[in-house]
């Protein structure tokens, strides 16, 4: 039993070790910024991965929850006078409620039909954020006041690196625990065969809805962090391309692997920065790299590499 | 009354564009279960290649033909070099490959072509046809007629040829199809070629109305995908009906509700329809086996 | 699995290449830029980037500034404010730039401002909205006219023609929305009533429902279309399709020959406020801007083979204001350069004559805008307003 626990917690511990030691090699605040962005997106992707990798449900509108979280910390302080930290929680609660209301009807849809329904949801959020300029500042976006914690103003990429990294590791452990819980096992059964799961007496609709809400909360917190970190938020945080990017991070890193979420987010945050040396060709190369990765590591980076490593052991 | 008619004409114009894009999704899906997110780029390539070949001094019909051939070749190459090597991967991984392809094609298009907007002259002039106090451009009718023609050709092909039967067999059960001697690999390659050709044709025909640029594909793919799903994915008549319905929703919402929220209204209706009819208007419910 | 190892090796090499890049020693003046070269605002970022590259080369060919060569570092934010912010940090922290000319859109400019304010590096923005320079921020400047000025110019022309009740149809993109807000704010003060408002998405392909509603609204005397990209071209075509004969006003957002090409014959009679740059050869010889705009448009057309747009002109002005400030400061020290930029007086650029001050970090007035009308497929100057 003790052994099992240790194996389960090995990946988050490894991530934590890297997280703490990596800054020794950071030459400037820019690297802290990239690190923080990786953790922010990894958090959102981890949530989406629970939905896609474990429950087998696709969402092409997850950036909508990113947007709700981001605009909560922008609109809350500006229009309601709420402190930012409270808005992070309020945003998460709002996302959970929205996920509950939206999820109930649309999670009955399957496969690509669910994809198009979630896509519609994401677009609705983006349209509202763009059009309600009085509240959200419209397409130009709005300024987000800095996070105040115990009278201390949170600023600087290095501080945000620590906050986002710590949050991701907490999210990582929670996700792992969820997977191993009875709910998690039930979800995996849904993924394998929905009808078989139903025959086993699993309340599919409720389990799916629960995981949809959890994944929405992950994305919402990530969105709040992103907005607070940037100090400015625009509606493209909730855009269709952002949703696609999140799905790409899940698939690239490996569906069903939370560690993969970190790797996928890391790759798609760092890659555009690295590819700037190719100037004009950066986008074409990004597309090409995506294709090559999916051809050669078709189960995602982490699961494929893990399979190779265990193959070597044998 | 004239007002309503004008909204309907607008809905037909926009809807015909979506329908033509949506048609491209159906065949690939039928043959391989893949939603091809690079379909919008096929449409863009059709329009942009025509513009640039014509600029080089080639006559317009020939330029359009070259564009369709070039795009078809790109569709085949996409299958040969990206889809085929990963054919045992899950459908999510394959969809990811098409997303990668869409980013790649967009990235190349801005280098090979440029980053500006372009237009093409309409087939039958730019003078609107007046009817009952409303006006519609002849080109809108051309797009509509082409969408209908493609549906009929696809139907004839699938129902009346051995090759078409093989597509149906592949769609129904790939393993079984292979066992009875269908070369499923060729069927899938063929579906990419035809979808690319349909996409390029769409690009040539809609550019006089909607203009084009290297990144025109993203939104078209999004709307086309929604249209294909509304109609029931895999059904050609469904794609056309889905496209025209979405165009109508948008136009009527812009006319009667709010132009700010017309896209929102359209997607809300799609959501409601799908919740009521989970397999889309013309789709067949799949029977899941345990 | 050999392929797998190749992929992994290639990734590793790529990442290390990335870490190593940006650390090359150089005794040059580094100027940074973040532009929306691709994405929905690429028709802003593309000419801006080309312009900066052409003129940095030209300046270096003439020996550089204060004996030092200029080095340009450009990043493409693809229209995302979030990307812009990351690249801004990279310019400051990694590339160690001394000045910044860029920010194609208002959204990305606003997202980048805190970075340059904190790093104390002068930032000349190429975006339109008035929020960029109001309130005045000590390190932030901008070269294009504000949307507010465009509205005022249009309304002045409307008043001169005795047209006081108008319809607005605007894009829901950043440019259209921002200008729409300014026009709505300015209208009551100058006695213009907005009878009906419509909007369209930046990628829409048909605007006839919105225009039908405008046509059916009684009392409307003219239509104003704040927007950029393909939207205004389609609005203009649909306008003629529906046979609307009211005067149509476009904004400075379509100030490029491309608009006339896209809208075709439908563009006849359309009016818009724009910088003198579009008229270049047609300006009277005694116009103070004549030589600047003629030189710029010839150079740009020669090097790129494309028609000139005012957006590239904004980048030209930004670069030249910066370079002249460096020459006056006899140094590339950010603080000294900032002070000199603020003292810019009588700079004749493509956008107008710039007179900055501690309270005005743009330095343009309404005279910088000309009212143009499209006649015979070309711009003509409307005089008298």
Q: Encode pLDDT of A206-259 as tens digits.
A: 888 999 999 999 999 999 999 999 999 999 999 999 999 999 999 999 998 999
> Hey, is the C-beta of A273 within 8 angstroms of any chain C C-beta?
yes
Answer yes or no: are the C-beta atoms of B107 and A281 closer than 8 Å: yes
Q: Residues, chain B, total?
A: 290
pLDDT band at C60 (very low <50, low <70, confident <90, very high): very high
A130 within a domain of the structure (yes/no): yes
B104 confidence band (pLDDT: 50, 70, 90): very high
* Identity of the residue in C46, C208, C241 whose CB atom sits nearest the CB atom of B115: C46
- Helix count (H) and strand count (E) of chain B? 11, 2
Distance linking the first and last C-alpha atoms of chain A:
25
Q: Does the beta carbon of B44 lie under 8 angstroms from any beta carbon of chain C? A: no
**Selected residue of A63, A102, A116 to mutate for chain B interface (largest B Cβ count, 10 A):** A116
Cβ-defined contact of A133 to C177 (cutoff 8 Å): yes
- Asked if residue C11 has pLDDT above 90, the reply is no
Torsion of CA C18, C24, C28, C33, to 10 degrees: 10
Contact: B260, C199; criterion CB under 8 Å: yes
| CA distance to B37, B199, C130, per residue, from B29 (Å) | 11, 14, 49
Choosing among 3.40.50.2300, 3.40.228.10, 3.30.572.10, 3.30.1950.10, the CATH entry for C29-145+295-364 is: 3.40.50.2300
d(CA C178, CA A234): 13
Q: What is the pLDDT of residues A157-215, one digit of tens each?
A: 889 999 999 999 999 999 998 888 887 887 777 777 777 777 777 777 888 899 999 99
Length of chain A: 314
In angstroms, what is the C-alpha Rg of chain C?
A: 22
Q: Is residue B98 part of a domain?
A: yes
Domain that holds residue B253: 2-276
DSSP classification of residue B289:
P
Examine residue B78 and state whether it is found in any structural domain, yes or no. yes
Other CB atoms within 10 Å distance of the CB of residue A145: 16
C86 with A34: Cβ contact below 8 A: yes
Please check whether residue B96 touches A, CB under 8 A: yes
Helix, strand or coil, per DSSP, at residue A183? helix
CB contacts, 8 Å: C172 with chain A: 130-131, 139
What is the C-alpha to C-alpha distance for residues C261 and C278, in angstroms, rounded to an integer? Answer: 14
Question: In chain C, helix, strand, coil percent, each to 5?
Answer: 50, 20, 35
Å between B267 CA and nearest CA of chain A: 5
Q: Which of B50-54, B262-266, C3-7 shows the lowest per-residue confidence on average (mean pLDDT)? A: C3-7
Does residue A39 contact residue A266 with C-beta atoms inside 8 Å?
no
Mean pLDDT of C256-271: 91
- Going by their DSSP bridges, the two strands A232-233 and A142-143 should be labelled as antiparallel
Q: Does residue A243 lie within any of the structural domains?
A: no
pLDDT grade, residue B247 (50/70/90)? very high
Q: Output the average pLDDT for chain C.
A: 89
Which has more pLDDT, B53 or C351? B53
Task: Check CB contact under 8 Å for B116 and C258.
Answer: yes
Give the gyration radius of chain B's Cα atoms.
19
The reply to whether CATH 3.90.1150.10 applies to domain C147-274 is no
| Confidence band, pLDDT 50/70/90 cuts, at residue A308 | confident
ipTM: 0.90
Question: How far is B150 from chain C, CA to nearest CA, in Å?
Answer: 22
Contact list, C8 vs chain A (CB under 8 Å): 305
- Give the domain extent around A55: 2-238
CB A125 within 8 A of CB A101: no
Paired tokens of A68: 């709700």
Please indicate, yes or no, if residue A124 is contained in any of the structural domains: yes
> Same CATH topology for C29-145+295-364 and C147-274?
yes
H or E stretch covering C198: strand C193-200
Q: Does A46 touch chain C (CB under 8 A)?
A: no
| Proportion of chain A above pLDDT 70, given as a percent | 97
Q: Give CA–CA dist B116/A283, Å, rounded.
A: 17
What are the residue ranges spanned by the domains of chain C?
29-145+295-364, 147-274
Residue A21 lies in a domain: yes
Cis amide leading into C135 (omega within 30): yes
C93 in contact with B, Cβ within 8 Å: no
SS3 B113: coil
* Residues on chain A touching C94 (C-beta within 8 angstroms): 28, 30
Is residue B289 situated within a structural domain?
A: no
Which of B2, B5, B10 is the best substitution to test chain C (most C C-beta atoms within 10 A)?
B10
CA nearest C309 in B: which residue? B116
Distance (Å, whole) CA A228 – CA A89: 13
pLDDT for res C23: 43
Cross-chain Cβ contact A230/C82 below 8 Å: yes
In a domain? residue A213: yes
**What tens digit of pLDDT does each residue of C290-337 get?**
999 999 999 999 999 888 888 999 999 999 999 999 999 999 999 999
- A312 touching C (Cβ < 8 Å): no
For C184-199, what is each residue's pLDDT tens digit? Answer: 999 999 999 999 999 9
Q: C68 by DSSP, 3-state: which?
A: strand
pLDDT tens by residue, A254-288: 998 999 999 999 999 999 999 988 888 989 999 99
Cβ atoms within 10 A of the Cβ of C259, count?
Answer: 23
Q: Considering only CA atoms, which of C299, C325, C268 is closest in space to residue C100?
A: C325
What confidence score (pLDDT) does residue C4 get?
Answer: 46
With CB atoms and an 8 Å threshold, state whether A284 touches B107: yes
Decide if B135 touches C, using CB distance below 8 A: yes
Domain membership flag for residue B41 = yes
Half-sphere exposure of A23 (CA within 13 A, CB side): 14
- CATH at B36: 1.10.3470
Summarised one tens digit per residue, pLDDT across range C66-83 is 889 999 999 999 988 999
Distances (CA, A) of C139 to B8, C94, C128, C338: 53, 20, 17, 7
Contacts of A233 in chain C (CB under 8 A): 81
Q: DSSP letter for A57, please.
A: -
CB-CB neighbors (< 8 A) of B271 in chain A: 105-106, 117, 120-121
Which residues does residue C73 pair with via DSSP β-bridges, in sequence order?
Answer: C32
C229–B contact, CB cutoff 8 A: yes
């Amino acid at each position: 039993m003790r052994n099992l626990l240790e194996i389960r917690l090995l990946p988050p511990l490894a991530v934590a070790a890297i997280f703490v030691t990596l800054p020794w090699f950071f030459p400037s605040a820019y690297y802290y910024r990239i690190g923080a962005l990786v953790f922010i997106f990894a958090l959102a992707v981890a949530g989406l991965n629970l939905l896609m990798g474990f429950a087998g449900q696709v969402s092409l509108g997850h950036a909508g929850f990113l947007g709700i979280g981001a605009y909560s910390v922008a609109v809350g302080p500006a229009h309601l006078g709420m402190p930012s930290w409270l808005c992070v929680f309020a945003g998460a609660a709002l996302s959970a409620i929205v996920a509950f209301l939206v999820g109930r009807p649309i999670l009955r849809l399957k496969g690509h039909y669910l994809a198009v329904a979630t896509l519609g949801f994401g677009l609705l959020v983006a349209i509202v954020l763009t059009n309600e300029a009085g509240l959200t500042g419209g397409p130009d976006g709005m300024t987000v006041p800095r996070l105040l914690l115990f009278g201390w103003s949170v600023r600087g990429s290095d501080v945000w690196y620590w906050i986002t990294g710590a949050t991701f590791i907490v999210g990582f452990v929670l996700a792992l625990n969820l997977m191993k819980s009875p709910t998690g096992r039930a979800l995996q059964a849904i993924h394998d065969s929905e009808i078989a799961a139903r025959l086993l007496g699993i309340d599919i609709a409720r389990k799916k809805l629960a995981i949809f809400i959890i994944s929405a909360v992950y994305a919402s917190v990530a969105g709040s962090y992103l907005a607070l970190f940037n100090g400015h938020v625009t509606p493209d945080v909730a855009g269709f391309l952002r949703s696609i990017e999140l799905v790409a991070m899940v698939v690239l890193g490996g569906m069903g692997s939370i560690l993969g979420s970190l790797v996928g987010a890391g790759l798609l945050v760092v890659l555009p920065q690295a590819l700037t040396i190719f100037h004009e060709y950066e986008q074409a190369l990004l597309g090409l790299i995506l294709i090559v990765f999916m051809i050669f590591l078709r189960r995602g980076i982490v699961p494929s590499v893990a399979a190779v490593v265990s193959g070597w052991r044998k | 009354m004239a007002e309503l008619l004008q909204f309907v004409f607008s809905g037909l114009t926009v809807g015909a564009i979506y329908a033509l894009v949506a048609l491209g999704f159906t065949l690939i899906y039928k043959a391989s279960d893949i939603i091809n997110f690079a379909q919008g780029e096929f449409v863009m390539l059709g329009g942009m290649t025509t513009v640039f070949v014509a600029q080089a001094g080639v006559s317009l019909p020939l330029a359009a033909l070259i564009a369709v051939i070039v795009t078809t070749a790109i569709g085949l190459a996409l299958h040969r070099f990206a889809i085929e090597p990963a054919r045992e991967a899950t459908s999510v991984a394959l969809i990811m490959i098409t997303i990668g392809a869409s980013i790649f094609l967009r990235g190349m298009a801005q280098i090979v072509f440029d980053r500006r907007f372009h237009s093409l002259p309409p087939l039958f002039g730019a003078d609107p046809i007046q009817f009952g106090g409303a006006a519609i451009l002849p080109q809108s009718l051309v797009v509509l007629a082409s969408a209908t023609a493609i549906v009929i050709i696809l139907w004839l092909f699938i129902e009346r040829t051995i090759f078409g039967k093989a597509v149906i067999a592949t769609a129904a059960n790939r393993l079984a199809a292979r066992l009875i001697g269908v070369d499923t690999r060729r069927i899938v390659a063929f579906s990419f070629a035809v979808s690319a050709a349909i996409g390029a044709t769409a690009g040539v025909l809609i550019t006089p109305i909607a203009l084009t640029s290297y990144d025109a594909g993203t939104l078209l793919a999004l709307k086309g995908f929604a249209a294909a799903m509304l109609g029931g994915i895999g059904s050609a008549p469904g794609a056309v009906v889905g496209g025209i319905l979405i165009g109508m929703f948008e136009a009527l919402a812009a006319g009667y509700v709010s132009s700010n929220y017309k896209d929102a209204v359209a997607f809300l209706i799609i959501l409601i329809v799908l919740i009521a009819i989970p397999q889309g208007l013309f789709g067949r419910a799949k029977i899941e086996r345990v | 699995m050999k392929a797998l190892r190749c992929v992994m090796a290639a990734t590793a090499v790529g990442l290390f290449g990335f870490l190593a890049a940006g650390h090359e020693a150089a005794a040059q003046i580094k100027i940074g830029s973040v532009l929306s070269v691709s994405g929905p605002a690429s028709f802003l970022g593309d000419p801006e980037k080309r312009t900066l590259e052409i003129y940095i080369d030209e300046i270096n060919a003439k020996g550089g500034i204060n004996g030092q060569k200029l080095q340009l570092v450009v990043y493409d934010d693809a229209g995302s404010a979030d990307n812009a912010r990351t690249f801004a940090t990279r310019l400051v922290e990694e590339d160690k730039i001394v000045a910044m000319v860029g920010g194609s859109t208002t959204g990305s400019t606003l997202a980048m401002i805190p970075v340059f304010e904190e790093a104390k590096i002068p930032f000349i923005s190429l975006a339109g909205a008035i929020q960029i320079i109001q309130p005045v921020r000590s390190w932030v400047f901008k070269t294009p006219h504000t949307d507010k000025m465009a509205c005022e110019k249009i309304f002045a022309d409307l008043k001169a023609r005795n047209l006081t009740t108008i319809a607005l149809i605007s894009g829901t993109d950043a440019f259209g929305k921002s200008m729409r807000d300014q026009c709505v704010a300015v209208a009551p003060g100058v006695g213009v009533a907005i009878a009906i408002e419509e909007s369209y998405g930046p990628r829409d392909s048909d605007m006839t429902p919105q225009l039908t509603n405008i046509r059916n609204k009684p009392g409307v005397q003219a239509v104003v279309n704040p927007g950029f990209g393909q939207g205004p071209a389609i609005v203009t075509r649909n306008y003629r399709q529906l046979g609307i004969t009211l005067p149509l006003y476009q904004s400075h957002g379509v100030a490029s020959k491309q608009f006339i090409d896209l809208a075709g014959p439908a563009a006849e009679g359309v009016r818009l406020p724009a910088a003198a740059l579009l008229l270049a050869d047609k300006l009277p010889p005694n116009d103070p801007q004549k030589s600047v705009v003629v030189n710029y448009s010839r150079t740009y057309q020669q090097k790129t083979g494309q028609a000139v747009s005012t957006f590239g002109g904004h980048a030209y002005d930004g670069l030249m204001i910066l370079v002249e400030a460096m020459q006056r400061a006899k140094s590339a020290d950010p603080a000294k350069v900032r002070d000199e930029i603020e003292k810019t007086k009588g700079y004749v650029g493509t956008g107008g004559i710039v007179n900055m001050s501690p309270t005005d970090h743009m330095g343009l007035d309404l005279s910088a805008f000309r009212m143009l009308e499209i006649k015979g497929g070309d711009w003509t100057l409307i005089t008298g307003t």
